[in-house]
Structure 1
Amino acid sequence: MRRVVLAPHCDDETLGCGGLLAKYPGETSVVVIAMPDDVRRKEFNVAKDILGYESAIFLGLCDGNIGEDMHRLVGILDQVVSDMRPDELYLPFPSMHQDHIAAYEAGIRAGRLSMSEGHWFTPSLYVYDVAAYDLSLYPTDLKWDFFESLREDDIDKKVDALSAYSSQAVTGPHPINSVKQQAAVIGNARQIDWAEPYSLVRGVRV
Structure 2
Amino acid sequence: MRNLFIAAAACAVGLAMAPAASATVVLSDTFDGEVADDLNWDGDATFFVSAGFVDLIGAGGAFDFYPGNGSYIDMDGSGGAGADPAGEITSFANFAAGTYNLTFELGGNARGAPARTTRITLGDFSTEITLNSGDALTLYDFTFTTTGGQLVFRELGPANFQGNILDDVTLAAIPEPATWAMMILGFGAAGAMIRRRAFALA
Q: What TM-score comes out, normalization by structure 2 length?
A: 0.24
Q: Which has the higher contact order (CA 8 A, sep 6+)?
A: 2
Q: Which has the higher strand share?
A: 2
Q: Which has the higher helix share?
A: 1
